[in-house]
Structure 1
Amino acid sequence: MTFPPLREELRGIAPYGAPQLDVPYALNTNENPYGPSAACVADIAAAVAEAAAGLNRYPDREHLALREGLATYLSRDVAPGQAPIEAAQVWAANGSNEVMLQLLQAFGGPGRTVVSFAPTYSMYPEYARDTHSRFVAGRRADDFTLDLDAAVTLVEAERPSVVLLPSPNNPTGTALAPEAIGALCEAIGDDGLLVVDEAYGEFRRAGTPSALELLLTYRNLVVTRTMSKAFAGAGLRLGYLAADPAICDAIRVVRLPYHLSAVTQAVALAALAHTDELLGAVDALRAERDACVAWLREQGLHVADSDANFCLFGTFADRHAVWQRLLDEGVLVREVGPEGWLRVSIGTPAEMAAFRAAMMVVLEHPGVAGGES
């Protein structure tokens, strides 16, 4: 046997992750380019100092104060007249990645099936793999929207324990039609869960509702969020979900002991106290996104409609050559999604100006850009 004695299905697989390169303009990981204010940083530092004084003790393993704060924040997105979300309906972990993994640890596993619809977040099949769950990928329509009839047919045929659907979708930015949530929850029934991954939910366009509005209607609905994107907390690693309390209780069975450190809980609570400030750049990023979509289309490129803080654009006969040409100009984008497409994160006006300038160099280079794949 080859050393180390790795599981056979993991041999030769590269770990997940975007390139981490020292470039002037890193627009490849969908971070919020606007960091916290000095006042927010000071409050976070004070909260960490207070937590540090008690690091000889384990943290609150149920993170009750944090769950209460997150419930208050999420209640901003419930439907008018609907009861606010309660702490018992909220669970948090180290990034929405851990939230998803815990969901599959609790509700996936051997003999169970996880369904999603490609192109979509590339970690979904890895969550399934790591929990020994069978993964089935349906297909989206050509415009990357969900073909609801086909989706319901697949769910009825596969009877999955978990359906993973991001809204907005990553890497395409496509929002999920509200009617799709109800139809899929009904198709799944009590046999499984529909997990609507709203990692980029705060960036959705006006008129696009959150799945949180349906949380009380469907007990098999789970809505996940993160503080990494709109909250400018990528370095915090705090993800969370809202669901029926019974689902949260089930996750408690599989979570590791004291999985959220005292420092993480303190930082997240301090950040929540600055919610309006940290979300203050969302409108500007939406406007910059819409301008980027329009500009790319003016250059004759295809661009997926986006409700996120990124744009998927193409198509290129050799997307890697385009990616490399942009990198040569000091701009790092993501080579992800369907063949022929690239994804750019939305940055500051200066960063987006640099991206446009680099794209003009690329588009003027014969044989590199402009070909349909």
Structure 2
Amino acid sequence: MYRHGYAIAVTNQHEHANTTALEALPLRDNLRGQSPYGAPQLEVQHLLNTNENTHPVPQRVADAIGTAVHEAAASLNRYPDREFTELRQRLAAYVGHGLTQDNIWAANGSNEVLQQVLQAFGGPGRRVLSFPPTYSMYPLLASGTNTEYISGLRGADFTLTPNSAAQQVKETQPDIVFLCSPNNPTGTALGLDVVEAVYEAGQEFNTMVVVDEAYEEFSLDGTQSALTLLPGRERLIISRTMSKAFALAGARLGYLATSPQVTDALRLVRLPYHLSAITQAAANAALKHVDVLLGTVDEIKSQRDRIVDELQQMGLSPAVSDSNFVFFGWFEDAHAVWQGLLDRGVLIRDVGIPHHLRVTAGTAEETTAFLVALREVIAA
């Protein structure tokens, strides 16, 4: 196990040396001074900082994926199916809502899906609007595609109302809007009225509206997916992933549902054969076992709700969560609390929002370890 302070110090020294060398290169101006995305990667007993599904892939599914990958390996001398047809068919069947393979697109994680959206509809002279605090990759994806990033405003309680969101669209006239629901890092879902209001406000500017539903499978009862809004809205995109509820973060498979016109547009920017035969084989095998893979979702939601309840008992203020994590405060020094938990073998996320932290809902054992450690830190 790493000595935490030593590991962080060495990492910081390495990054400083790399940054100095990097500045000597003819880097694009909008990339100078940027830091790459990444949560701390430390070897601790309880990793609850990156919203992974901490339950292992069920052996039955792991075996099926292994068999499929083994079979695919025999033909790796050939390029994979460029259109990943079987995968789009299986994803359409999973998503439902009357969608077909023509409505589905996939890439190496939902980050690449969003990057391709920006490559097709963003770029120099174009703008993307989102509403921080939200997923920290959005401005980095914008920078990487030379798209201007506009930070919208939320309420003091981090909520977003239909009127406020629509007014900001009218004022900024963006080419793309990113709406994260459930929102990361706060965990709360947007009402469909917000999505409708944003889409309507963007009609005049031909705005693409992306709803990032990476955590949708963990939503509270009664929360509706923006998939219900797709009919008649050809510029609406719903982004999803197999990293979270499916427990396949290591497989790197993200996808979206949208109009066939949009999937055609993404074909213009995707790299040739961008989904490997191995990725396709693994994802197709997994989608044959959806019920087994999603078998941990209810348990994760139960642990999430347990975290919310016990944090409230401690006098803290957790946000309502439709996701597999909990955003909570109030701390005078949130980073000190983060460090205290790390010293006790529990790594959660300091999301950089004053007085707040975020913790992934893991197994019952991991939840207990987090709650015990947090009580110790608060008592200290």
TM-score by length of 1: 0.94
* 1:2 to partner: Cα distance: 5.1
Q: Which has the higher helix share?
A: 2
Matched residue type, 2:261: A
Which of 257, 275, 290 does residue 275 from structure 1 map onto?
Answer: 290
Q: Is the 8 A contact 1:117 1:140 kept in 2?
A: yes
Q: Is the 8 A contact 1:114 1:133 kept in 2?
A: yes
* 1:272 to partner: Cα distance: 0.4
* 1:37 to partner: Cα distance: 1.8
Q: Is the 8 A contact 1:166 1:196 kept in 2?
A: yes
Matched residue type, 2:112: E
Cα separation, 2, equivalents of 1:64 and 1:56 = 19
SS at match of 2:340: helix
Cα separation, 2, equivalents of 1:2 and 1:118 = 28
Who is 2:263 aligned against?
Answer: 248
Confirm or deny that 1:42 pairs with 2:63: yes
Cα separation, 2, equivalents of 1:220 and 1:140 = 24
Q: Is the deviation greater in 221-230 or in 333-342?
A: 333-342
* 1:139 to partner: Cα distance: 1.5
Who is 2:246 aligned against?
Answer: 231
Confirm or deny that 1:19 pairs with 2:33: no
Which of 69, 77, 80 does residue 56 from structure 1 map onto?
Answer: 77
Q: Give per-residue Cα distances to partners, 1:25-79, cap 9 Å, x unaligned.
A: 000010111122222111111100111000000001111110000000000xx3x
Who is 1:166 aligned against?
Answer: 180
Who is 2:377 aligned against?
Answer: 362
SS at match of 2:331: coil
Confirm or deny that 1:118 pairs with 2:132: yes
Confirm or deny that 1:261 pairs with 2:276: yes
Q: Give per-residue Cα distances to partners, 1:234-283, cap 9 Å, x unaligned.
A: 00000000000000000000001111000000000000011001111111
Confirm or deny that 1:92 pairs with 2:103: no
Q: Is the 8 A contact 1:93 1:239 kept in 2?
A: yes
Q: Is the deviation greater in 287-296 or in 6-15?
A: 6-15
Identity of aligned residues (%): 54
SS at match of 2:251: coil
Q: Is the 8 A contact 2:182 2:188 kept in 1?
A: yes
Cα separation, 2, equivalents of 1:5 and 1:184 = 39
Cα separation, 2, equivalents of 1:173 and 1:312 = 7
SS at match of 1:212: helix
Matched residue type, 1:287: S
SS at match of 1:182: helix
Who is 2:91 aligned against?
Answer: 70
Matched residue type, 1:64: T
SS at match of 1:235: helix
Q: Is the 8 A contact 1:167 1:174 kept in 2?
A: yes
Q: Is the 8 A contact 1:58 1:258 kept in 2?
A: yes
* 1:147 to partner: Cα distance: 2.3
Q: Is the 8 A contact 1:194 1:221 kept in 2?
A: yes
> Structure 1's 330 and 54: CA in aligned 2 closer, same or farther, altered over 3 A?
same
Indicate the RMSD between aligned Cα atoms, in angstroms: 1.2
Cα separation, 2, equivalents of 1:350 and 1:262 = 37
Cα separation, 1, equivalents of 2:283 and 2:73 = 15
TM-score by length of 2: 0.92
Confirm or deny that 1:308 pairs with 2:329: no
* 1:142 to partner: Cα distance: 2.3
- Structure 1 residues not aligned, in runs of 5+: 79-83, 366-373
Cα separation, 1, equivalents of 2:373 and 2:58 = 30
Q: Is the 8 A contact 2:218 2:245 kept in 1?
A: yes
> Structure 1's 54 and 139: CA in aligned 2 closer, same or farther, altered over 3 A?
same
Confirm or deny that 1:155 pairs with 2:141: no
Which of 332, 356, 359 does residue 341 from structure 1 map onto?
Answer: 356
SS at match of 1:51: helix
Confirm or deny that 1:329 pairs with 2:344: yes
Q: Is the deviation greater in 327-336 or in 124-133?
A: 124-133
Cα separation, 2, equivalents of 1:7 and 1:318 = 36
* 1:337 to partner: Cα distance: 4.7
Q: Is the 8 A contact 2:162 2:195 kept in 1?
A: no
Matched residue type, 2:54: P
Matched residue type, 1:199: A
Runs of 4+ with deviation above 6 angstroms = none
Who is 2:311 aligned against?
Answer: 296
SS at match of 2:238: strand
Q: Is the 8 A contact 2:23 2:32 kept in 1?
A: no
